Amino acid sequence: MAVQASRYAQTYALAKTDPEQFWLEAAKGIDWVSAPTRAFDAAQGVYGRWFPDAVVNTCYNALDRHVETRGDQVAVIYDSPVAQSKRQLTYREMRDHVASLAAVIQDQGIEKGDRVLIYMPMIPESLMAMLACARLGAIHSVVFGGFASKELATRIEDAQPKLIIAASCGIEPNRIVAYKPLLDEAISLSAYKPDHVIMFQRPQAEAGMVAGRDIDWSETVGAALKAGKRADCVPVKATDPLYVLYTSGTTGKPKGVVRDNGGHLVALSWSVANLYNIQPGEVFWTASDVGWVVGHSYIVYGPLIAGATTVVYEGKPVGTPNPGAFWRMISEYKVKALFTAPTAFRAIKKEDPNADYLKKYDMSHFCALFLAGERADPDTVGWAEDILKVPVIDHWWQTETGWAIAGNPLGLGQLPVKHGSPTVPMPGYNVEIVDESGHPVPAGKMGSIVIKLPLPPGCLPTLWHADDRFREGYLETFPGYYNTSDAGFVDEDGYLFIMGRTDDIINVAGHRLSTGGMEEVLSSHPDVAECAVIGIKDSLKGEQPCGFVVLKAGVTRSHADIEKDIVKLVRDKIGPVAAFKIAITVNRLPKTRSGKILRGTMKKIADHDPWTMPATIDDPAVLDEITTALKDKGIV
């Protein structure tokens, strides 16, 4: 443990005392069309904007600038146990594909500022689609393949993309997920209609094409490549949006998190080197999905901006074909650092507790494991340390921030690891723990975790076309601060501990979901009078959703049938990723005298946590009924 060697303290202090100098220095890692003369303008935007006078292109920084110096280096490794396919693309090949795809996109009338929705699985073409948009200054919005039509439709309606780029299918170990019917259904549900769809056909399930609207990727991009037809990088303002990524909010309507070009480039370039300790030419593998922020930042943009090699893995930690899948990947591609969610390691540990599969592989290039997306439980961290014998680094962030709020910066020199803590705030994040009235609480005491404004480069400047929703949702509860909606504490050494959300968001297998959104779906069932969804502890996924429903008077159908309907309804409306499997019919829900449902107490009962009778409860007997219902389902 090299605590004395770390440059963390002085680096963090400099970012705090002289952010202009710190971030202008970090900005030197980027090739600007017009370099920033100042780092921050407090007068612009909702809380200020980073690099207000700079001009740049993100795709140029991720691809073109590397072609001169490392054109033949592999930029993207694709490995798909589910499609039984492997492929590697150099920086030059990526640049050529992206420039030709961008030309095809341009032919559809897409210009700077237009939105393009991307609905694709873990294949290199997804990265190409994102980078081609970035090349043109078009704003991409990637939707995760595990979402169903209705969720997709909501995003189409909000982002109003002129163009959608999709693949014909995704591949799950147990099934082929045909995307085209989901997409067509979403377009028909949405009041807004895109002009065109560019379709990447996969042999596992070819999509039917709509004449006049749908365009075949291989034909058009193939022809453009052959003809040497390429689009140039379009200069954009550093403050122009690069992408909008929707994430669960406290209602069924997702929030469009906006990411700018300049701040994002600087934050990712700084973090790849200083947090993940990845140098140009090294292999950095993030086992997530391009549909999540982790995938945006560290499958696509971060490693490529840094001139590293990124890995696109279309598979699972277990079952594709076995719990040695990650070790095979690390050894085959000489991976230096892996970043994934703790749930992936819980899955491996469950199937191979003694890590027998690991013994078969050469892990000599592997230097660190990074975990994020949910709380890294000390058991899992300890197990990973024992078997891998490398630092296991928990780090904490959100879709909104785009990069880690807290972490252990290996590039600055590792700080001692404390199990259960994502270590310390990253430069630019002034994190405080406060009570309900916004007053700082002493070390060791739980409170709301807030970040003093301004947020550092890379974080959201606002929500898509919703400045007011941004202010209300994040900035109003604690004036002058961004409310993370996470609760936790800081210990006497300044280490952060993130203990859970203060809103209705739950975290299922590292996927962020809104219980409020699920409740909207449950309430839409014709037999349901009222409902409550809570996240209950799950040894593999961290949490799993559990829905309680009260039926309307006079309903005669069996409870089992209605519960089956409800499970299907959530799968159809939100998607399989919601992993909603438990629906329980009860006669009443526990409420306070003012009618507020006591979800917190229900959760404690389901989780076997100690609980006390809420003083404001209307009828204490309801909690016995809930306990009995949970017992009947085998949950307690």
- Distance, in Å, from the CA atom of 416 to the CA atom of 423, rounded to the nearest integer, reads 8
By CB under 6 A, which span of 75-83, 245-253, 573-581, 583-591 interacts with ligand COA?
Answer: 573-581
Q: Which is nearer to ligand COA, 93 or 377 (CB)?
A: 377
User: What b/e string do you get for 466-479 counting C-beta neighbours within 10 Å, with b at 16 or more?
Assistant: beebbeebbbebbe
Smallest separation, CB 104 to ligand AMP (Å): 32
Amino acid at 252: G
How many Å separate Cα 422 from the centre of its chain?
Answer: 17
- Residue 176 in contact with ligand COA, rule: CB under 6 A: no
Amino acid at 200: F
Tokens of 356: 């027998």
Q: Which is nearer to ligand AMP, 446 or 555 (CB)?
A: 446
Say which entry of ligand AMP, ligand COA, none residue 344 contacts (CB below 5 to 8 A, set by partner kind): ligand COA
Say which entry of ligand AMP, ligand COA, none residue 317 contacts (CB below 5 to 8 A, set by partner kind): ligand COA
Q: Where are the alpha helices (DSSP H) in 141-230?
A: 149-159, 179-189, 217-226
Q: Which is nearer to ligand COA, 565 or 625 (CB)?
A: 565
How many Å separate Cα 305 from the centre of its chain?
Answer: 19
Residue with tokens 């073409």: 125
By CB under 6 A, which span of 99-107, 190-198, 310-318, 593-601 interacts with ligand COA?
Answer: 310-318
- Residue 316 in contact with ligand COA, rule: CB under 6 A: yes
Identify which of 189, 213, 186, 185 has the alpha carbon closest to the alpha carbon of residue 199. 213
Q: Which is nearer to ligand COA, 95 or 255 (CB)?
A: 255
Q: Which is nearer to ligand AMP, 378 or 620 (CB)?
A: 378
Q: With H, G, I as helix, E, B as strand and everything else as coil, classify residue 347.
A: helix
- Residue 433 in contact with ligand COA, rule: CB under 6 A: no
Say what the alpha-carbon torsion angle 444, 445, 449, 450 is, to the nearest 10 degrees: -100
- Residue 535 in contact with ligand COA, rule: CB under 6 A: no
Smallest separation, CB 338 to ligand AMP (Å): 15
Which of residues 280, 576, 607, 636 is near ligand COA by CB under 6 A? 576
Interacting residues with ligand AMP (CB under 6 A): 247, 293, 372-376, 394-399, 422, 486, 498, 501, 507, 512
- Distance, in Å, from the CA atom of 562 to the CA atom of 555, rounded to the nearest integer, reads 10
Q: Which is nearer to ligand AMP, 245 or 325 (CB)?
A: 245
Residue 607, CA distances (Å) to 133, 210, 501, 573 in order: 45, 49, 16, 27
| Kind and range of the H or E run holding 165 | strand 163-167
Which of residues 141, 343, 514, 601 is near ligand COA by CB under 6 A? 343
Tokens of 332: 């085959």
Say which entry of ligand COA, ligand AMP, none residue 422 contacts (CB below 5 to 8 A, set by partner kind): ligand AMP
- Distance, in Å, from the CA atom of 294 to the CA atom of 125, rounded to the nearest integer, reads 18
Smallest separation, CB 449 to ligand AMP (Å): 9
Residue ranges that bind ligand COA, judged by CB under 6 A: 121, 145-146, 170, 172, 177, 288-289, 292, 294, 316-318, 340-341, 343-344, 347, 373, 508-511, 541, 576-577, 579
